[in-house]
Structure formats: C-alpha cells, structure tokens
Structure 1
C-alpha cells in the first residue's frame, strides 16, 4: 500500500515543483511591478480593450460582462471606502477628528490600490477566457442589463458620495503636499549691509 502512495507522490513531484517555481516567479514579477503604477494601469487598460473587442466581435457573452461589471462595482466600493467605517466607529465612542487639536487619522482604504488593480486585471483575464467557452454565452437582451447596471452604479455611487460628504473624507490621493513657505511679506525683505 505504501508503494502505491509513494509512486503517485513521486509522479506528482515534478508538477508540484513546476507549480511552486511558477508561483515564485509570478510573485517576483508582481512584487517588481508594485512601484510602477502608471505602467500597471496601462497594461490593464490594454487588457480591457482586448476584452471589449472580443465581446464586440463575438456579439455575445453579455451575462459575463454584466457579472464583470457588478464585480468591478464591488471592488470600486472597497477602493473608495475607509478601512474603518466612521459610522461604526461613532458607535464605539471614537470618531474622526473635528478640531485641529484632535488626533490626525490618515485615510486608509479598505482595498488598497495594488490589490484593486490586481483584482480588476485578474477579473478581465478570467472574463476573457470565459468568452472562449460557449456555455457562458447565455442569450439575453443586453440593453436591459446595461440599464440595470447603470441604475445600480448611480445609486451605489450616490450612497458612497453622501457617505464621503457626511464624514468629510476624500479617497483620492493627490500626492505629497509640498511646503511653499509663508505667503506673507517675508520674501520681499531686502537686506542692507
């Protein structure tokens, strides 16, 4: 009995080794792509365009596209939401700072940008592969799906924007703020020797 199990595991050893090597190499390149945000998003944009062209020329797979749209909407909500919800924090007694003397709490996303990018890219790749399987080409009247998704998007974004306004947070990072000095007359002072 042990011989049969040993033979099966020795036959699987090269597959497991190949899988581990591939996983390690994939993670290496994924880690190296982290600081290159513009290039990553341009690659994702190219993937999106390939997917859109595929769906356009095949004239099908609308249910796959609808599911992809719902998934991306879910990711977008996580990307725009704070890690700690102020509504739940207010129930605990802690709240966002309202005065200059209060503790500063930076905006931390529930879904970081890198994970957001990776999930969207992976979703479009999987959806693209699904367009080659006819089982996913369910005949539907796509304009109804599109209108329903647009209504869902508007209602969800309205709720999210009202939440942002209510708790005064901005999820968009505009980069590091730079100190430019005082705007008073200190720069106009001339020195007499």
Structure 2
C-alpha cells in the first residue's frame, strides 16, 4: 500500500525545509557576534511590540523565566562537583579538565532565538493578552533572578570555577615592550 501522493509531497517539502534550515544554522555557527546581534535585534523588536501594544505581560514573564532557565543551564557545569567529585585538578600532576557547560553556547542562542520569535508570534493573537498587574510579575522575576544568581555564584565560588572564557591567550601579539636599562 502506497501513501497518498499529497503526503509524499508534504513530507518531501518538510524535509527540504528542514535541510535548508539546518544548512543555515550550520553556516551561522562560527559567526558568534552576528548570531547574538540577531538575537538582541529580535529581542528589541519584541520589547518595542509589547511596549507599543501595552499588553502581553504574561507572555513576557514566561519568556523571561524560560530564558533565565537557559542562562542557568549555560553557566552551570555539566557535571556537578558536589555529586561527582571535583572537576578541577587538586594536585599539580592531576589532569586538567576544562569547564564543560550543561547547555552549549549554540543551543543557548538557538533556544533563546526561537523563544523570542515564538513570543513575537504570540503577540499577534489576543488570546495571549491576559490582563495582569505587571509590576508584580516584574518584581517576582527580579526576585527569582537575584535569588537564583546568588545561589549560582555561591556554587561557583565554592567549587572555584568560572563559566566564561575569553579565548586562548596569545603571546607576542601585543606592542613591543622596551627594556628600561
């Protein structure tokens, strides 16, 4: 029994679109600044739309909570030192293990970008414009943010890790230092 021809056309079109999207994502992978700039631009468009419409505060709150969760995954180590032992070497001859994130940078960016686009799409339907007193939501989000970051920073200090690196150190690229003899 063969499937309906329309089903084959739809599935082929869907596969083609997914392949094109994947090619775009693969090509965007090394362009970190451009990707994050696009996310900031999309976020500014979302903020402008919400500001102009004076609504969709529940959508904004959900977007904020989701992206806070993504940020936590981004700055959290993949293996918790409290449960699986220390990641960093404690002796001079111990093996060095670099910081490995629970959520890689590309997945963090991609999930954030998708969430902002979905948020923008939700602002086109009045179903999601639930009337709420937005200052309470904003205050609650800030409380969640500060409590969560305080706990995360304590974890970083306790296990002595820094989730950010600024690339490999380069030697000999700076200006020549003159000897002062």
| TM-score, normalised relative to structure 1 | 0.86
Runs of 4+ aligned residues of structure 1 deviating over 2 Å after TM superposition are: none
Shift of 1:95: 5.1
Shift of 1:73: 0.6
Which residue of 1 is the match for residue 175 of structure 2?
none
Counterpart contact for 2:87–2:97, Cα < 8 Å: no
Which residue of 1 is the match for residue 137 of structure 2?
145
1:65 aligned to 2:65?
no
Structure 2 residues not aligned, in runs of 5+: 173-177
Shift of 1:10: 1.3
Counterpart of 2:110 (choices 112, 118, 137) is 118
Bigger Cα Rg: 1
Deviations 1:44-94 (A, max 9, x none): 11100100000000000000000000000100000000111101112xxx6
Q: How far, CA to CA, are the matches of 2:98 and 2:25 in structure 1?
A: 27
Which residue of 2 is the match for residue 101 of structure 1?
93
Q: CA RMSD in A?
A: 1.5
Residues paired across the two proteins, number:
174
Q: How far, CA to CA, are the matches of 2:156 and 2:88 in structure 1?
A: 12
Q: How far, CA to CA, are the matches of 1:86 and 1:114 in structure 2?
A: 24
Which secondary structure does the structure 1 equivalent of 2:142 belong to? helix
Q: How far, CA to CA, are the matches of 2:48 and 2:125 in structure 1?
A: 16
Which residue of 2 is the match for residue 163 of structure 1?
155
Q: How far, CA to CA, are the matches of 1:99 and 1:144 in structure 2?
A: 49
Which residue of 2 is the match for residue 130 of structure 1?
122
Shift of 1:112: 0.5
Which residue of 2 is the match for residue 21 of structure 1?
16
Shift of 1:19: 0.6
Structure 1 residues not aligned, in runs of 5+: 181-186, 189-193
| TM-score, normalised relative to structure 2 | 0.91
Q: How far, CA to CA, are the matches of 1:11 and 1:21 in structure 2?
A: 15
Shift of 1:96: 3.1
Change (3 A) 1:172 1:95: closer
Which residue of 2 is the match for residue 12 of structure 1?
7
Which residue of 2 is the match for residue 55 of structure 1?
50
